[in-house]
Amino acid sequence: MSNAMEIPPPGDFPLDPPGGFGRMAPRLPGPEARMADYDVREALCEIGRRCWQRQFVAANDGNFSFRLDEDTILATPTRISKGFMSPDDLVLLDMEGRLKGGRRESTSEIRLHLNAYLHRPDIRSVVHVHPPHATAFACTGPLLPCGVLEEFELYLGQVPIVPYEPTGTWEFARGLDPWIETHDAFLLANHGAVTFGLDPFDAYYKMEVLDHACRTLLLARPLGDWRRLTPEQMQALLARKTAHGMNDARMGLPAERLLDEAVAPRPARDTQPRFARDLVPASESVIISDEPKLSSPPPARLDGSDSRASGA
């Protein structure tokens, strides 16, 4: 599956590949039961293809990661189209961003992922892309209206817009902090969107749901005003979320506030993230290793080619 010739043309969304990603669907049992590295590599490449096919990314945009264990994350590298990655293009990093394995380099936006994992021990995957419909809202400023799309409310709910900061900086990564412990989807002002999940497909599906909702809202807006659920209907909807064990930051609010679009910030724990490149000279910050320290099956591409040569 590492061959670009096997990738369907845009618009032809593939179903799960032979053998399926059904093994990805169950909730992961916990950090101690580390998911097979090989499966996660395939999953991240598949998500890259889907993001490219749905035009969530252009050129080399976007990055995804999965936390393999408490000190190792598997992440997409910089300078590669996420639609055409092979499993051995991915990099292994520690929680301070040091490269532990892989032949490519990590992205500066990995700070966004590291900060998320630092504050959210309950999540294991982060997807960051620039989906056009969601980014249209992120560029213009209106918060997504509450109580308009039932399934969106069930799956995601309120989505904060994180104020603009230059990409790749800690200020950019920590912009999520006021909502990071209570929300799983964020619009990044003048930039894109980021979602958290229990596994790579959980985070990716949230991104699909977010952009689909934004597209629907953009299509609906010229037709008239939003027809919203009533506060009582919203209360019943949140009760269904509770019954299914799903969190929503609005739970416990009085009914009349459930249609508020403003997303109340909550201070995150004062945890100072660290990043190896902030601590040591740049020339010493990247440790290249061809030997991933995992006892997993080898990646699919074994032709010995230097995948870095194809990077932009």
In angstroms, the CA 72 to CA 82 distance is 21
In the region spanning residues 191 to 220, those forming contacts with Zn ion, defined by CB under 5 A, are: 192
In the region spanning residues 175 to 194, those forming contacts with Zn ion, defined by CB under 5 A, are: 192
CB 276 within 8 A of CB 97: yes
- Tell me how far, at minimum, the Cβ of 159 lies from Zn ion, in Å: 17
Buried b or exposed e, range 85-117, using 16+ CB within 10 angstroms: bbbbbbbbbebebbbbbbbbbbbbbbbbbbbbb
Instruction: Give the nearer residue to Zn ion in terms of CB position, either 2 or 125.
Output: 125
- Tell me how far, at minimum, the Cβ of 123 lies from Zn ion, in Å: 19
CB 259 within 8 A of CB 231: yes
C-alpha separations of 20 from 2, 42, 104 in Å = 16, 11, 28
Instruction: Give the nearer residue to Zn ion in terms of CB position, either 188 or 263.
Output: 188
Please give the DSSP secondary-structure letter assigned to residue 69. E
Number of residues that bind Zn ion (CB under 5 A): 1
Instruction: Give the nearer residue to Zn ion in terms of CB position, either 87 or 192.
Output: 192
- Tell me how far, at minimum, the Cβ of 66 lies from Zn ion, in Å: 18
In the complex, residue closest to Zn ion by CB: 192
Which residues are known catalytic residues? 109
CB 134 within 8 A of CB 106: no
Site string for Zn ion, 102-141 (x = CB under 5 A): ----------------------------------------
Instruction: Give the nearer residue to Zn ion in terms of CB position, either 157 or 192.
Output: 192
CB 197 within 8 A of CB 222: no
- Tell me how far, at minimum, the Cβ of 167 lies from Zn ion, in Å: 6
- Residues interacting with Zn ion, by CB under 5 A? 192
